[in-house]
Structure 1
Amino acid sequence: MKITGYRTLRTHRDWGRPVGDVNGFIASGITEVPIVIVETDEGIEGVAVGSDHDIARIFPALEGQDPRGVSGLYDRMLAHVFKAGHNGATFGGIATLDAALWDIKAKALGEPLWRLLGGRDRFVPGYASGLDIALSDERLADFYAAMAERGFTSGKLKGGRDVETDLRRLRIVQEQLARNTQHPALMLDANESWNLKQAVRYVSAVEAEIDLTWIEEPLRRWDAHGHARLSQSVRAAVATGENLTGLEQFRALFDLGAVDVVQTGAVWGITHFLRLAYAAHARDLPISPVGLTSNPAVSHAAAAVPNHLTAEVQDLGMPFGVLVDEHVDEGGIILGDAPGAGLTVDEQAIGAAVHDGDWLQSAGPHVRPLRAGLSLAAERRAGSSPATHRDA
């Protein structure tokens, strides 16, 4: 079997609510979703959702190769962009091609990917995550009530601006999830918005009233020394790593004992997840993938590693024109038996659709505010946008 080509298309996801974090939000709730399809000379095609960045530059590393040699081809893609480097958005393009190759390999064997990777149980434990910074208290309660109906016992709040606001909203999440357990697990995600001492003060204030399971991305992603000091200063576990693009970027976090829950963005792909999971396992650390809505294939990898803790479940729907052989229930993801990663794409419907995807709008959560981490007071002035706020 040989790789002969690829094609890309873009669809959209309608979240049905504003989505974002402390850095900004998408008011429309419409986001773009790239799809990559890798073609072979035997007619088996690999389908992956994630990123199409730099695909044209990366693909020559795959053309004419046997797609079943996935691990070797992953290294070949990294080597192909050696001079410029694979970090940043390029890593997303590599990851999406990688996921498509795993899809091909499992389809060729007629197996669901989770079984090919060595998984015994099709169930992937998860936690609810509403990307909820812009939701009213009422809509926040509605989202976590719906997730509680699916059996979830843990939830993650986007916050980091104001302690009192976060305490109130954490209690809302707690109340909704309490229908399934007396002690819901509560996590708070600050999305790299603090400096070290801000983080210590803020988390300590929250922990005075609520038992946090973890604090997520409290500091800049590369600040291993800061994360280590924070972990020693608070009770909550420190969870970070989702924005690190490459296994080598975790070295300092591991060496300094700076991470308690190792996270990886699902958009960074299957091979990266597997390698990071085993690196974490060697250090007795759990791993947790972030954003499975961005790359549902990583759910299959999560089912196959010994130290998977929980996976972020942000939505119950799928992008327009995409079907995934899985369903959310019992507080997690139940994977299906379709060969491969279970993705089916209606290319004709997607091609005919007209939509306005605005995930990359300037006010969205992909743009860091210039003064993030540089305020004496964490809270924002009333009516100011977190993406545009400036201190007087």
Structure 2
Amino acid sequence: MTTVQEWDRPVGDANGVFAGGTVPVPIVLVDTDEGITGVGLGPHVEIDAVFAAIEGEDPRGVTALYDRMLRQTFKAGHAGVVFGTIGALDTALWDIKAQAAGEPLWRLLGGRDRRVPAYASGLDIGLTDDDLVAVYQVYAERGVRAAKIKGGLDIERDRHRLTLVREVLTEAGHGSRPGLMLDVNEAWTRKQAVRHVREIERALDLTWIEEPVRRWDAEGLALVGRGIRASVATGENLTGLEQFRPLLAAGAVDIVQTAAVWGVSHFLRVSALAHAHDLPVSPIGNTPVGLLHAATSVPNHITSELQDLHPPLGMSLDLHIEDGAFILGDAPGLGVTIDENAINAFTRGPDDTTAGTPNVRPEQAGRRLLSVADHDHPGQPHRLTPHGHTGSPRTRPGDEVTHTVRR
């Protein structure tokens, strides 16, 4: 099935904006013959083919089953949303295993401390200055002292918005220096990245720059890292250890990231690989609950992304935000409860996923000479078209996609 995250405001990045703030959240539910249901958050593309690798198996053998799912997709490949499907099923299996053991997943995985440090991430490129300040004041009230804003289209605007967020967090922290990060979602060329970040660093201490160039450009990421003071963070869109190895070998990444939808087993393996290179790891995602549990068990976790303070529609989580951290609960498994009736009763579909939204790379990405302010729609990101005018994202109502997987 697919539920939604209702932000009640525009959310997006340099590639586009969901103007209505309604973002799809796919869910996979896996049943066992013992009556336990595991919850996985991620795509369900090619799920019948992938599920064949684990159907009828004992879910407690989750690590071996993860490898069976990878082998199941050997010829066609397991990248992209297929990898997300594997990750969703993997997370559901971990949930089942921990429920069967009667323990929260963080405890089953060997975690000692249920507290997972967080940074605020508002997907905020479509916000006005006043709205930006208001959003980060809410994060600051929860004790969060580090924040990542979206940018990459205008140096002056990025510097101004980072300064606004710094002031909010500094005031809330009684003068202590906050952590500031900038995420540009692969919007730049190598030279643009160095020039842009250096200009920002004239006035601000930037903790990391996220995805400054294309995700696979190991040489380019390393070049950017050598040309700036900030750390380079990337990895959320990499699927499989084979995609991380060239970046690590080139010294191209300082903060190793993984996306929540890629699953628990993937995160654990990437964390071990990063630890072997003395690098920290940081989970990414709107609802990274599986990786929060896993983060308690690895030695090199640094911080996890906190997006919306409210869970997706029809979902409750056994965790809360306190003193700048996720505090995990004691419910067996992931601590995720799904209200299928609430999800099925929702009639308004998620925002359009075509051009003008974060899911589609703009034609001019990486080839913008100048940025152009959108004077007609100041709440939307700056976007340069070939004729110098700005475009706005399109939205339309749509039918909810529901697809429940029960085995």
TM-score with structure 1 setting the length: 0.95
Distance 2:219 2:372 in 1: 25
SS at match of 1:42: coil
What is the aligned partner in structure 1 of residue 390 from structure 2?
none
1:20-65 C-alpha deviation (Å, 9 max, x unpaired): 0010000101111111111111111111222222212211001011
Q: 1:207 aligns with which of 201, 204, 207?
A: 201
Q: CA deviation at 1:294?
A: 3.6
Distance 2:288 2:256 in 1: 18
CA contact (8 A) 1:161 1:380 kept: no
Distance 1:153 1:81 in 2: 42
Superposed, 1:231-270 pairs within 5 Å as 231-270=225-264
What is the aligned partner in structure 2 of residue 4 from structure 1?
none
Q: CA deviation at 1:380?
A: 5.4
In the alignment, does 2:355 pair up with 1:355? no
Superposed, 1:39-78 pairs within 5 Å as 39-78=31-70
CA contact (8 A) 1:128 1:152 kept: yes
SS at match of 1:212: coil
Q: 1:173 aligns with which of 165, 179, 195?
A: 165
What is the aligned partner in structure 2 of residue 22 from structure 1?
14
CA contact (8 A) 1:23 1:387 kept: no
What is the aligned partner in structure 2 of residue 110 from structure 1?
102
Q: 1:333 aligns with which of 304, 326, 331?
A: 326
Change in 2 beyond 3 A, CA 1:383/1:219: farther
Distance 1:240 1:382 in 2: 32
SS at match of 2:39: strand
Tell me the matched-pair count: 383
Q: Residue type matched to 1:322 in 2? A: M
What is the aligned partner in structure 2 of residue 391 from structure 1?
386
CA contact (8 A) 2:368 2:384 kept: no
Q: CA deviation at 1:97?
A: 0.2
Distance 2:223 2:360 in 1: 27
Gaps of 5+ in 1: 1-8
Please identify, of 205-214 and 172-181, the stretch whose mean Cα deviation from structure 2 is larger.
172-181
CA contact (8 A) 1:50 1:294 kept: no
Q: CA deviation at 1:359?
A: 5.4
In the alignment, does 2:185 pair up with 1:195? no
CA contact (8 A) 1:32 1:359 kept: no
Q: Residue type matched to 2:159 in 1? A: L
Change in 2 beyond 3 A, CA 1:387/1:98: farther
Q: 1:283 aligns with which of 277, 282, 292?
A: 277
Q: CA deviation at 1:260?
A: 0.4
CA contact (8 A) 1:323 1:344 kept: yes
Q: CA deviation at 1:11?
A: 1.4
Q: 1:345 aligns with which of 310, 313, 338?
A: 338
Distance 1:336 1:359 in 2: 35
Change in 2 beyond 3 A, CA 1:316/1:381: closer
Distance 1:194 1:268 in 2: 25
In the alignment, does 2:312 pair up with 1:319? yes
CA contact (8 A) 1:99 1:269 kept: yes
Q: Residue type matched to 1:339 in 2? A: P
CA contact (8 A) 2:54 2:65 kept: yes
SS at match of 1:69: helix
SS at match of 1:209: coil
Q: CA deviation at 1:387?
A: 9.4
Distance 1:90 1:295 in 2: 18
Gaps of 5+ in 2: 388-407
In the alignment, does 2:124 pair up with 1:124? no
In the alignment, does 2:224 pair up with 1:230? yes
1:209-238 C-alpha deviation (Å, 9 max, x unpaired): 101000000000000000111111100000
Q: 1:367 aligns with which of 360, 368, 385?
A: 360
Distance 1:379 1:328 in 2: 38
- Report the RMSD for the aligned CA atoms in angstroms: 1.5
SS at match of 2:59: coil
CA contact (8 A) 1:24 1:386 kept: yes
Q: CA deviation at 1:13?
A: 1.4
Q: CA deviation at 1:381?
A: 6.0
The ranges of structure 1 where at least 4 consecutive aligned residues each deviate by more than 3 angstroms after the TM superposition are 378-389
Q: Residue type matched to 2:28 in 1? A: V
1:315-338 C-alpha deviation (Å, 9 max, x unpaired): 110111110100011111000000
Change in 2 beyond 3 A, CA 1:387/1:206: closer
What is the aligned partner in structure 1 of residue 211 from structure 2?
217
SS at match of 1:220: coil
Distance 1:195 1:380 in 2: 20
Distance 1:275 1:380 in 2: 43
Q: CA deviation at 1:134?
A: 0.2
What is the aligned partner in structure 2 of residue 13 from structure 1?
5
Q: CA deviation at 1:350?
A: 1.6
Q: CA deviation at 1:138?
A: 0.5
CA contact (8 A) 1:323 1:345 kept: yes
Q: CA deviation at 1:259?
A: 0.2
